């Protein structure tokens, strides 16, 4: 997206109205319990697109959040400040098992549990590969299997092996083993984000576009 006018055009959530149930209060964690305290909007010159600026008041703790949102053709998307610092959910179009390990990796990274973050990243990688029908008796063979089928491009294959190798230390610890380096943990969790963007989010965006084009 190279312009805020594109918000909600190519990806987002179904519907042309802001889905309050998607918004979590960053202060108390209450979800979807908001009243609109202020609303303003700006219409695109010589067009129909509208940018909405809402201030929402939490019905539980009375804190305020600002939500900027806009709708396209049957989709809308939003940005909010402040946002929850604790991750509560994974993207809804991801498989549940993949998202569960992803959340654990992210939370352990935030809590500076470096070994656990690396281990959960490795687990999320493996379950994602198996969701894509990877074959093989171990993670190494599963990575190479999907690469041979063209599911993983060479650069993703190399990175996946890096995650596997770093995660192996946490999955199979030995006496006197050095703890996972914090920078390594951060890198492999970030790779996990790139991989899931490639395996799940990009295909969804393409499919959403095709559905709109064919309707």
- CA contacts within 13 A on the Cβ side of 155: 4
Numbers of helices and strands, H then E, in the chain: 6, 5
pLDDT for the residue 93:
86
Whether the model pTM is above 0.75: no
Return the closest-CA partner of residue 65 out of 97, 99, 115, 24: 24
Supply 191's token pair: 């790779």
Give the C-alpha separation, 127 to 136, whole Å. 13
Give the C-alpha separation, 47 to 70, whole Å. 14
Return the closest-CA partner of residue 68 out of 76, 26, 60: 76
List b or e across 116-132, with b for residues whose CB sees 16 or more CB atoms inside 10 angstroms.
Answer: bbbbbbbbbbbbbbbeb
Give the C-alpha separation, 47 to 53, whole Å. 18
Sheet holding 34-43, edge to edge: 13-14, 75-81, 64-71, 50-58, 34-43
pLDDT for the residue 215:
64
Q: 175 vs 68, 115, 185, CA distance in Å?
A: 52, 14, 20
Cβ atoms within 10 Å, residue 210:
10
Q: Chunked in runs of 10, what are the mean pLDDT values of the chain (215 residues)?
A: 86 88 90 95 92 97 97 91 80 89 90 91 92 92 95 90 79 80 89 90 84 72
Are the C-beta atoms of 36 and 27 separated by less than 8 Å? no
pLDDT for the residue 10:
79
pLDDT for the residue 1:
67
Are the C-beta atoms of 23 and 56 separated by less than 8 Å? yes
């Amino acid at each position: 997206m190279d312009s805020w006018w594109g918000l909600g055009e190519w990806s987002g959530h179904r519907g042309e109205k802001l889905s309050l149930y998607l918004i979590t209060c960053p202060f108390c964690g209450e979800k979807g319990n908001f009243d609109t305290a202020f609303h303003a909007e700006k219409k695109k010159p010589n067009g129909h697109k509208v940018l909405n600026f809402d201030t929402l008041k939490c019905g539980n703790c009375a804190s305020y959040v600002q939500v900027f949102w806009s709708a396209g053709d049957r989709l809308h998307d939003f940005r909010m400040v402040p946002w929850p610092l604790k991750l509560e959910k994974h993207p809804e179009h991801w498989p549940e098992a993949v998202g569960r390990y992803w959340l654990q990796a992210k939370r352990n990274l935030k809590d500076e549990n470096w070994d656990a973050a690396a281990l959960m990243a490795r687990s999320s990688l493996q379950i994602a590969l198996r969701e894509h029908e990877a074959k093989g008796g171990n993670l190494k063979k599963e990575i190479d299997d999907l690469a041979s089928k063209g599911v993983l491009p060479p650069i993703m294959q190399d990175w996946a092996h890096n995650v596997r190798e770093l995660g192996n230390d946490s999955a199979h610890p030995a006496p006197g083993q050095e703890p996972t380096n914090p920078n390594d943990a951060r890198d492999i969790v970030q790779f996990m984000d790139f991989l899931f963007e490639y395996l799940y989010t990009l295909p969804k965006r393409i499919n959403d576009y095709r559905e709109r084009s064919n309707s």
